[in-house]
A and B are shown apart, each in its own frame.
Chain A
Amino acid sequence: MTHSKSKFSIPDFLKYLSLIIGVFVVLFPPYVVIVNAFKSTDEFNSSSSMALPKNFLNFDNFIAVFQRGGLLSGFGNVLIIIVITLTLNILFGTMVAFVLGRFSFKLKPIVFGAYLVATIIPSITTQVATFGIIKNMGLYNTLGAPIVLYIGADVIQIILYLQFIRNIPVDLDESAMVEGASLFKIYRSIIFPLLTPATATLIILKTISIYNDMYIPYLYMPKQSLGVVTTVLMRFQGVNSGEWNLICAAILLILLPTIVLYFFLQRYIFEGVTSGAVK
């Protein structure tokens, strides 16, 4: 079993083949949505669902989507929720990870365990009980409901931060201590900034998961004016079912922001864990 040194070997060929199949499977459904979003109703009914549209500049469907549904306020609401949630969540997440990653104390396994065990509690079914808590807090049918439910740190976030913190040399903390820095200052000026790649990753992941979440807004914000993109799309599909070219346009409009965001920020996700902290 010696490693092949040739320029283009059979394993390489199989690797590329599997990757190309993977990419085809990934791109097939969006392709269908894109081509049909630009078709007029007549064209949609007469052409194959995989055929290209006659005119890629036919924006009628998109205009109709904006005129019929509360998509703009949907975007606005979800943006407010995301900004407030992420600011607090990143703060809490880094704080928990700093404490768990840098100090040892008796209750540490219990704290980490509490976050770990939390993931096994089925979050959708506990809404049966959470519902009453949110109502008692006066947050039902306000943007506050999803915010308080999203801001808590979760175990994936803590594990990701801990992985990064382990790679930040303790020497940095110690030399700051020699210079008389407080532990809070070490958190603020050393740990927090060096967690930026992980934070960027989490911002993207959490933005996406909040933008995508359907059940929390559906359950806690049934008010028409508090629609977020998911609930707006569900209402739109309900009212216009069967008009697939319109629905394709709506789908595309809702997919576009995250796709744009992703192509701008993807390097943060994939950026290596090791950042040259020690000079």
Chain B
Amino acid sequence: MNKLTLQKAKESLKNKDFSAVDLTKACLLQMKKTEPKLNAFVTVTENQALEQARKADVELASQGDALEAKPLLGIPIAIKDNFSTLGIRTTASSKVLDDYIPPYDATVVKKLKDAGAVILGKTNMDAWAHGSSTETSDYGATKNPWDTNHLPGGSSGGSAASVAANQCIAAIGSETAGSIRQPASWCGVTGLKPTYGRVSRYGVIAMGSSLDSPGPITKTVEDSALILEVLAGIDEKDATTSPKEVLEYSKHLDKDVKDLKIGISSDYFIKGIDKEVEELIKTAIKKFESLGAKIENIKLFDPKYAIDVYTIIQRSEVSSNLARYDGIRYGKDRESFAEEAKRRIMFGTYALSSGYYDQYYNKAQQVRTVIIKDFEKAFEKVDIIIAPTSPSLALPVGATKDTSMFGEIADVLVEPSSIAGLAGINIPVGFSKSGLPIGMQIIGPQFSEQLVLASAHQYEINTQNENWRKLTPDL
């Protein structure tokens, strides 16, 4: 039952096919079986999870409509370790926070708890979310469930691997530029990066504050819609959250894609892209065409410049955000930062230092404007844009060693939309001959989650019977 989608698990709990405790135990059992190979979790909260599941069972038994009021009641969920969790160790996979026990919940965590979710534990990530591999974690790399000699991507690699390995029903990640979509792509699961400001950042250990976007990692598009309904909305504790209405995303996924205008840009099929990735994305685009969508070739601003913009803005914001870690109020002192954090802090400090601000930070912010305007122009012509999520398949363990900007270069195709604060999703489209997942991203304008989710859902249900969907990781 740990293999169930969120929607199916909800139906089963409602029908009393099994209890929340049964479901939680099935997830915990799968964790026990697969964690030695995967290392997807930093902290497992078995006792608290079973306690939450018991409480959920009481509510499910006593109230017929309990799942109406609490849409995630009894659903086991894994949370990335950069979300503050009251009373549960929160490390962001850095030894600096090895013994940090937050005295409060992040808004995302509070909303999950209010919705009745069972929290299984905290998932592994690149330390401080600095990376696209989960290999920079101070608690060891997470491995890709489809081939444990390969990386899961990152920074939400633990969350993506955990969903792919059916250790949980769904997981929460966060994306600064790629950290939800790219690991979802490498692990063959769905990952939604909401518009910046759609989901509160309060209590998320900050990386790039003008970019950070929490979101769900799930087995289906519908599941991402169900979780977004819970997470989205204005939060007085995060002044960048939008007052825009939160829609019932999961109830409006059935809109067909007939006459939907889909933009395709050859600029996103970059030099050096994996041939199988290119082929499968092009096949997926043809699928949309066969469903009645109109495919238009558009010119987009070369994504290679997004690497520079992202590197400068993000590392500058990192150097500022990590300045607070001095070991006085919580955590260990600055001696405990590992190599990647130091590299990013040093670069950001340099870029913001006297005499260089205009040359780097200001220039990057100007090009950020160019990227935003470029998307605005594109969305005058098309409704959504489709592209590969990652130019490569999941890379082998060890790929990040001695690289100076691994993450930023790996995420070239997701950085432009993150820089512009847009909505985007990764959905699986198949596998390579070597058995590694391939993912496609759908990008829409700001606050177009409904359209992005519905388009992704249409692809998913219309490819439901393809043979590759029957594959499961051999663990």
**Chains A and B belong together in one complex:** no
Chain A residues in the interface with B (C-beta under 8 A): none
Chain B residues in the interface with A (C-beta under 8 A): none
